[in-house]
Every structure is written in C-alpha cells, then in structure tokens.
Structure 1
Amino acid sequence: MSTHKNPLVAIHDFGQSIWLDYIRRNILHNGELQRLISEDGLRGVTSNPAIFEKAIAGSDDYADDIRQLAQKGLTAEQIYAQLAVADVQQACDLLRPLYNHPENGGDGYVSLEVSPELINDTEGTVTEGLHFWHAVERPNVMIKVPATLPGLPAIRRLIAAGVNVNVTLVFSVDRYRDVAEAFLAGLEDRVKADLPVTRLDSVASFFLSRIDVLLDPQLETLSNAGGGQAELAQSLVGEVAIASAKQAYQVYQEIFAGPRWEALRAAGAQPQRLLWASTGNKNPKYDDLKYVEALIGPNTVNTIPVETLDLYRINGKPAARLTDDADKNVLGRLPELGLDLTALTNQLEEEGARKFTEPFGKLLAVLEQKRQEALAPTTA
C-alpha cells in the first residue's frame, strides 16, 4: 500500500488552504463536494457570476426550480438570486463541520458575489451584500465585493456590519493595501461600537494568471525587437504575476503586525488572508501548476478550478515557496521598459468587471427565456 500523501492534503502542512473555484448543484447532491472535503482536504468554495452562468445555463439541474419560481411571479434576477442562494446554503452546510472546528483557521467558507452590475455602486453593493448575507443565513458564507474604488467603502461598511467579505478583483499591490486598510477600518468601526470581531473573516483575492496574459505579449514584443532592453524584457516574461503576489504577501506581513493590528487582535480579530485567484494556467508554455506551486505559504488560500485541482492531486509537489526570491525586483524593472503597471492593472480591473458582467447578462437572458416558457399557455 502506498504511503504517498495526497498533495492536496499535504499543502495544508505549509499553512495554505485549498478552496474550490466552482459550484454546481449536481456536486452538492451526488457526494462529489463531500468527497473533496473528506479525501482531498478541501477547505472552502468560491463562486462568481461566470461560474453560475455555466452551472445554470449549461445544465438541466435547475429546470424544475426555474419553472416553479417563474410561476410564482419572480423576475429573472430574483430567480437567479434564489438559485444561487440555495446552492450556497447547501455548500455552506457541507462545509459547516470544518467551520465549526476549533482549529478551522478561517476556513469552511462559501463565497457568493454581489451582482457585477453594482461594480461602481457603493450603496447598491452594501444593500445587496446585506441582502445576500441575511438570505443565505449561514455564519460561513462570505460575500464577494470587488476591489474597485467604489467597492472599498462598501467593504469597510460590510465588515463593520459583521459580514464576512471576500474581496475580489485585486490586481495590484497598491490596491491590495487599500483593501487591507478598508478591512482594518471596518474592524475598528465595530470595536468602537462595542461589537464583537471574533469569527469575522475576510480574504483578499489577488488575481494572477490574467496579469501575465496581459503583460507577456508586450514583454515578448519588446524582447523580439532587439536592442539593449531585449534581454531585460525576456527575463520578465511570465514573472510579473508571481512577483506581484510575493510583494503583496510582504505587505500583508507588514500590515498584520505592529500596534494597530495588535489592538484589533487583542479584541479577537483574525487577519484578512491573501487568497490567490485566477490560478488556472492560461498559457500552454507554462506548467499548469505554476500559479499554485510558487505561492504556497502560511496563512494563505489558493482557490483553484476543478481541472487544476485534479492535476495537483496527481502532480503536486507542495513546499513553502512564497518567500523565495521575494527580493527579486521584477516590478521595479517594468518602468525601464516603458510599462506602467498601474495603468495595466487598472485595465485588468475593467476587463475583470466585463468578464463577470457579460456572463451575468447572458445568464439573465437565459433565465428570462425560461421564465417566459414556463408562463406560456400550454396547448392541448
């Protein structure tokens, strides 16, 4: 009998939690999610509008519910909310024993995102975040809020209201600082109001592969152009996302130390962990586990799609690597090549918003069509 430890389980020895970036009704019902929790050490689930679009529009799992909800007079958007909340509730219940465990380390959560149409609407984000929080009615739900400038005050207000928040669409170290500041300010608001901060958890989801998808072609163009900068450009291909994550982790270590944090910790607060997102490889030239292996370190999360999870189970080689080469000055060299990382990450934020808004619009269109079909008079 092999004594080889499942790499998905072993990764937790290094302080990292694996969450699944996927939800679908059939895995809740057929035992698949429970198996991932029991056998693979899965410690959380994240969802987004694109994932729900694939699940709801791409299967018949929801047909009966859609018909019943349509016949009750619900709109397409209300139907979506009911379906999403029901799936998240079931996933929360499966992960509840882990959440309840005294050594859960901030795990056992399922994330549900506010509508991507609210990406630049602070008030709308707070209202919908609170609505979803109360609708799911599970202590181990996290409400996903984008790290846009209008999202930052919403993060603070939701944390102050006692809502667990998964901050999504973080693409730059500077924006990560803003996110951590919003989290700390929200905790401080609660402490001032004499409200508890224990069991109030948050993650900051730093998106990775999309950074390289945007920058690599520009770096390759510069390296192919020859001249004195070609060698520098070539040396940075495929390096920017990992370097950004490692720098963000250094910032995390600075922020969650010192007197300000110690005062909150004394009140029972836990740090907002960095979560590595968009970690499925999108470039055939790279190892498919590139964005997992390089970023294993204490008190972090990696949320990975099913395909990457399956690959890691077979080929994963967990080791603490997050602080390796942390002083390698990748980001500082980009201006030498005329590349403005702030402008590029702002572009990624806008593209990221579109990547959620478009499938959400498509999903609502599908639900509207199914709603109308359910209400159409049947002919004998």
Structure 2
Amino acid sequence: MTTSKVKQIHDFGQSIWLDFIDRKVIFSGELKKLIDEDGIRGVTSNPAIFEKAISSSSDYDQDIAELSKSDKTNEEIFFAIAVKDIKLACDLLAPVYNEEEVVGADGYVSLEVSPFLALDTQATIKQARQLWEEVGKDNVMIKIPGTESGLIAVQTAISEGINVNVTLLFSLERYEAVAEAYISGLEKRAADGLPVNHVSSVASFFLSRIDILVDPFLDQNGLGELKGQVAIASAKTAYQIYKRMFSTDRWKKLAEKGAVPQRLLWASTSNKNPAFKDTWYVEALIGPDTVNTIPMETLQAFRDHGNPASSLEQDLDGATKVLESIKEAGIDMGAVAKQLEDEGIDKFSKPFQQLLDAIEKQK
C-alpha cells in the first residue's frame, strides 16, 4: 500500500493537524482513519468550526435540550458541548501523544477561549484555567489569541502548566513577543520549583489572510509578481526567529530541565486565490519542528496531488527580498497585521454569536 502523501510530510519533521472537528468525524471512525492512514497528529478547532458543526447537524440537539434544563447560559451550554467533543478527540489522539519515542511531541487537540475575551487579559486567564480543568486531558491545548492583551495570559497559562495554542498571529514582531511569553512562562515555572517538561505550546502564524489583504496593494505598486509570496516570506522569516530564540543559552537552561520549544504552526493554509495551486501554503512551508493545521478539503487535495518535500528553508534570500520590496513600496506590514488581527477577532466573534443564537432557538 502506497504511503499517503500527507503522511509523507512527517518524514520531513513536520506534523499535520486537522483544522476541523465535529461528532460525525469522531463517531464515524473517519478521524481514527485519518490518524492511521494520513498520519494526522493533532486537531484544532475554533468558534467558526463549532458553529458550523452545531448549526448544520442534529447531532447536538439532545445535548442542548438536556443542558437547557439547567440554569446554564448559552455560552456555558456551548462549552459543555465543546468540551465533550474535545475529550473524545483527545482520547482518539492519546496513542499519538503517548508514543514511546517522545511523549507529548504531538497528539494535541485545541479548544479556544471565547473570542469575546480577546482583549480581556484576566477573563482570558480565568477561562483558560476553567477549560483546562474541564477537559482534564494532558493532550489538550487551550487556544489564546496572540493579541497584546493575550501575551500576559499566555505567559500566565504556561507558568501554570497549561498547554497553549497561541492563535491569530500575523506579524513577526508579535510572534517574537509570543515566543518570549512562552519562555518567560517556563522560567517562572522553573523558578517556582515546578517541572517544565510536558508543557507544550504552538504559535499559530496565519498565512492566506495576509496575502488576501496585501496582494491588491502589490498590483497597485507594480509588484504583481510577488502575489501569493508575502505570507510565505513572512513564515520563512518567522522560522529563522524561532531557530534563534530556541538556541540561546537562556533557552538551553530550560531545555536541560526538559522544556521543549514552542513550535511554529502554519494556520489559515487553505489557498483562496484560484491563480495558485490549492496546496500552495502546505507545499511551501514543509520543514522540521513545525506544525501545519489544514482543513479537510486541503488535506484531501494534498493527498491527491501534493508534493511532500523539504521547502521551509529554501531561498531564504528570496524571502528577505520579498519583505524588503514591500517595505520599499510603502506597504506597512505592522498596519496590515493590526487590521488582520481586528478582522480575525471579528471573524471568530460573529460565528460565536451565531452559535449562541442557534442554541437559544433550540432551547
């Protein structure tokens, strides 16, 4: 039997996580099949994914009806349902997490705090603790937005031993701040005499949304040939920052205590520009000690016609030139990142509100 092209990506040191969850994929055996045949090594979720799962299916009606008999708010009902699904997925991925070679290298399932809390540090910390306890699985990751308000929440959660998936990252500066928050959180934990092994984190760098916003400006500035390349150039540069930050003497002190680096995770990897191959963002960024979370349709596309090959550190000079060219053209990537972060919060808040409204209607 030919090894799946998706599974072959793991030969280059990258883990593929599925950016999707619902009860059908869990109970039908499809997720188990993806783990076994395609080498899927984790699952991510977000409010939009859960909104689609709950609103387009009757699989959750009974739970909603039962939970509605209590005095729970609609948000509490949602999280009770979500936690149930996340626990099931964690159990399916437990064999990956518990692999003898490196326990905790993979096998994680991510659950996001309410997008309404994206700019509220203390409320984010409180809910991260709550969700961590409610799921109660070593292989869950709590998703915290990498907003300025989220940095302290990330550091605090890590210092308390909570696995964190830092989401909504668009800029190199913010990514570096997130890596700093992770390292500082581990240092605090070590200073408190607590173990730092088996605390895990990923920094989710969003890709296609960058190009969607920047590409029209490229045309206006006579840089049309760079379309589809800015996000990839940014990601390649972020990986160089990752290598620098996790090779310092400061980091080595934590590594000696068993700490593992916070891996970069490529998110928003479904290509939305028909001018480019549908596996564009997967093929361009395959490299060691990274994660790529991909939606089902992108996974199926790569399985069919993807090219598994090491690419993340190819043409780094070219990536630098891309970023220099857009800077010279007056395109402010800081402003781009801020706009994308604001839009990202909105894009998760709207489906979350729709989800709460749907639960209200079903009560």
What TM-score, normalized by structure 2, do the two folds share? Answer: 0.98
Question: In 1, are the aligned partners of 2:158 and 2:185 still within 8 Å (CA)?
Answer: yes
Quick one: which of 292, 311, 316 aligns to 2:282? 292
CA distance in 2, matches of 1:368, 1:244: 42
CA distance in 1, matches of 2:343, 2:174: 16
**Contiguous gaps of at least 5 residues in structure 2:** none
**Residue 354 of structure 2 corresponds to which residue in structure 1?**
362
After TM superposition, the structure 1 stretch with the greater mean CA deviation from structure 2, 337-346 or 139-148, is 337-346
Provide Cα deviations, 1:38-70, integer angstroms capped at 9, x if missing partner. 111100000000000000111111001100110
**Residue 299 of structure 2 corresponds to which residue in structure 1?**
309
Deviation of 1:334 after TM superposition, in Å, equals 1.2
Report matched runs for 1:1-380 at 5 Å: 4-104=2-102, 106-222=105-221, 230=222, 233-328=223-318, 329-371=321-363
CA distance in 1, matches of 2:121, 2:106: 27
Secondary structure at the residue paired with 2:18? strand
> Which AA in structure 2 matches 1:64?
Q
CA distance in 2, matches of 1:41, 1:70: 38
CA distance in 1, matches of 2:107, 2:81: 21
Question: In 2, are the aligned partners of 1:75 and 1:368 still within 8 Å (CA)?
Answer: no
Question: In 1, are the aligned partners of 2:41 and 2:96 still within 8 Å (CA)?
Answer: yes
Question: In 1, are the aligned partners of 2:283 and 2:309 still within 8 Å (CA)?
Answer: yes
**Residue 378 of structure 1 corresponds to which residue in structure 2?**
none
Secondary structure at the residue paired with 1:4? coil
Provide Cα deviations, 1:330-356, integer angstroms capped at 9, x if missing partner. 112212212111111110000011110
Q: Percent identity?
A: 54
> Which AA in structure 1 matches 2:198?
R
Question: In 1, are the aligned partners of 2:17 and 2:42 still within 8 Å (CA)?
Answer: yes
Question: In 1, are the aligned partners of 2:264 and 2:291 still within 8 Å (CA)?
Answer: yes
Deviation of 1:99 after TM superposition, in Å, equals 0.4
After TM superposition, the structure 1 stretch with the greater mean CA deviation from structure 2, 16-25 or 99-108, is 99-108
CA distance in 2, matches of 1:309, 1:237: 23
Question: CA RMSD of the aligned region, Å?
Answer: 0.9
**Contiguous gaps of at least 5 residues in structure 1:** 223-229, 372-380
> Which AA in structure 2 matches 1:262?
K
Deviation of 1:126 after TM superposition, in Å, equals 0.3
Provide Cα deviations, 1:274-306, integer angstroms capped at 9, x if missing partner. 000000011111110000000000000000000
Provide Cα deviations, 1:68-98, integer angstroms capped at 9, x if missing partner. 1101232211110100000000000000011
What TM-score, normalized by structure 1, do the two folds share? Answer: 0.93
CA distance in 1, matches of 2:160, 2:24: 33
CA distance in 1, matches of 2:225, 2:18: 32
> Which AA in structure 1 matches 2:54?
I
Question: In 2, are the aligned partners of 1:122 and 1:154 still within 8 Å (CA)?
Answer: yes
Secondary structure at the residue paired with 2:202? strand
Which has the higher Rg, Structure 1 or Structure 2?
Answer: 1
> Which AA in structure 1 matches 2:26?
L
> Which AA in structure 2 matches 1:325?
D
Provide Cα deviations, 1:152-201, integer angstroms capped at 9, x if missing partner. 00000000000000000000111100000000000000000000011111
Secondary structure at the residue paired with 2:68? helix
Deviation of 1:27 after TM superposition, in Å, equals 1.0
> Which AA in structure 2 matches 1:321?
S
Name the count of aligned residue pairs. 360
> Which AA in structure 2 matches 1:80?
F
CA distance in 2, matches of 1:190, 1:250: 26
Question: In 2, are the aligned partners of 1:198 and 1:267 still within 8 Å (CA)?
Answer: yes
